[in-house]
Amino acid sequence: MKSIKNNLSHTFFVKLKGFKLREFAIGLRLRWRIKAWTEHILPDFIIIGEKKAGTTSLYRYLIQHPNIVAPLRKEIGRFLFAKNYNTKLVEPWYRAHFPSQKIRNHESITGEANPNYFFHPLAPRRIAGLVPNVKLIVLLRNPIDRAYSHYHHNLRLRTQEPLSFGDAIENEDERLKGAKEQILIERGGWGNKNCYRSYSYLSRGIYINSLNSWFNFFPREQFLILSSENLSKTPIKTVKRVINFLELPMWQPKITKKFNVGKYPKMSTHTRKKLKKFFEPHNQQLYDMLSVDFGWES
């Protein structure tokens, strides 16, 4: 047992060290790029979420396309959640992550992905102010499975999650009480102790609320809304839908694996029935609005 723990600690240290080295290298490149930020383009597309719905997998598949040039990192826009956000101050930093104008000569595009954009109450307005014509890709997963995956993701990251899953969803309203209002008042952040991001297991799954927030700032034709179940079952077909949406030459990706897949115990039947009852009316509203039935009946 001790040797296994030592091996895990060593693996974690190596990954952490590698991450720090990559971030250091990106930082050096950014310092040079920011000086000529006007030569860099803004994203043509953004995968805006949802969390634990396959955004990383879709992003990894897409950047294989010969006409898509990847930015310096997948998730760039953490600054969009910052307090006292100022577009004029952040645009040079944001642009510097993306390729130069030269890719336009090669009929190429670029984009990023951040699974937290979809749920954050300030992200739609801020992205609209920065890239109003960007194409937005949304991945939605059965909210029951998404919530349970989110919970176990928190446990793996050693987030301060002292509650069982049952207790966490039972106490979600109390834990998030006032958090959204705090974010809006402070013009950013994630609420006290990041609770709005970390403990929003059920709230994130009421997709119609988040979509309506985005539709207040972008026309519907700029969205492509997909189910993560389809991405998992028919990845090539789903990626081709995205390629068509982005108006790129048709092409077939190499699908070798899914990314950020977690392993955890099966949810109890009692809890699943409870969540099914909770999400049913919200899912039906979503289906009616989109004229699409994702089949999340269980």
Q: What is the pLDDT of residues 219-277, one digit of tens each?
A: 999 999 999 999 999 999 999 999 999 999 999 888 876 666 778 889 999 999 999 99
Q: How many residues does the chain have?
A: 298
Can you tell me whether residue 74 is helix, strand or coil? coil
Confidence at residue 9, expressed as pLDDT on a 0 to 100 scale: 42
Asked which of 7-11, 20-24, 148-152 is least confident by mean pLDDT, the reply is 7-11
* Tokens found for residue 18: 């590698």
How many CB atoms lie under 10 A from the CB of residue 84?
9
Cα dist from 166 to 14, 147, 148, 202, 272, whole Å: 35, 11, 10, 12, 10
107 vs 6 pLDDT, higher one: 107
16 vs 206 pLDDT, higher one: 206
Count each helix (H run) and each strand (E run) in the chain, helices first: 13, 4
Check whether the bond before 50 is cis (ω within 30° of 0).
yes
Confidence at residue 161, expressed as pLDDT on a 0 to 100 scale: 86
Average pLDDT score over the chain: 87
75 vs 148 pLDDT, higher one: 148
Rounded Cα gap, residues 26 and 107, in angstroms: 25
Rounded Cα gap, residues 237 and 242, in angstroms: 9
* Tokens found for residue 6: 């030592």
- What domains does the chain contain, in order, with CATH numbers? 31-290 (3.40.50.300)
Strand blocks (E) in 144-246? 223-227
| pLDDT tens-digit readout, 150-193 | 999 999 876 678 899 999 999 999 999 999 999 999 888 888 87
Confidence at residue 284, expressed as pLDDT on a 0 to 100 scale: 96
User: Has this prediction a pTM greater than 0.75?
Assistant: yes
